[in-house]
């Protein structure tokens, strides 16, 4: 009986860690992800702790044949929008299933690691994430509200 309780608790913890994170479709257009999972965030605003990496994964359908993808992240805080450069600019290296070149219609997953520096102020953020190819086709785009915290 104890083994069954442990199994149920472990199963619940795994399911909770894989819950989808709510997001909004991009106002600028582009297809939304099939699913988004931000580690530790099942409701917005997501809390991003200083000195850590935000880890997320999203699933999307490839909109056109492509040899490459690049991530674009824009952060809006205090009325100012800036590009947020990710350490890895080749999104093909961060695919968690599939690999480049990609074919139209493939269901692919992308894994994000985004550093939140200790120097960042505690502030509310509106983030826009997209993946685009060399022809500027937007393969996936979504918006997410977050808060930088200690």
Average pLDDT value for residue range 121-149: 97
b/e per residue 81-107 (b: at least 16 CB within 10 A)? eeebebeeeebbebbeeeeeebeeeee
b/e per residue 6-17 (b: at least 16 CB within 10 A)? eeeeeeeeeeee
Given a contact cutoff of 8 angstroms between Cβ atoms, the answer to whether 127 and 143 are in contact is yes
Q: What are 79-117's pLDDT values in tens digits?
A: 999 999 899 999 999 999 999 999 999 999 999 999 999
pTM: 0.84
Which of 140, 120, 127, 147 has the alpha carbon at shortest distance from 35? 140
pLDDT at 11 over 70: no
pLDDT at 15 over 50: no
SS3 91: helix
Which of 130, 129, 133, 132 has the alpha carbon at shortest distance from 146? 129
> What mean pLDDT, rounded, does the chain reach?
89
């Amino acid at each position: 009986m104890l083994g069954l309780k442990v199994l149920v608790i472990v199963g619940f913890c795994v399911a909770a860690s894989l819950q989808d994170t709510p997001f909004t479709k991009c106002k600028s257009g582009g297809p939304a992800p099939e699913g988004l999972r931000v580690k530790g965030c099942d409701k917005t605003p997501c809390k991003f702790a200083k000195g850590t990496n935000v880890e997320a994964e999203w699933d999307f359908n490839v909109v056109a044949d492509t040899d490459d993808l690049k991530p674009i992240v824009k952060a809006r805080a205090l009325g100012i929008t800036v590009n947020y450069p990710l350490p890895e600019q080749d999104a093909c290296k961060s695919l968690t299933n599939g690999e480049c070149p990609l074919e139209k219609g493939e269901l692919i997953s992308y894994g994000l690691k985004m550093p939140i520096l200790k120097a960042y102020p505690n502030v509310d953020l509106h983030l826009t994430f997209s993946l685009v190819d060399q022809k500027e086709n937007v393969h996936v785009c979504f918006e997410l509200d977050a808060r930088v915290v200690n």
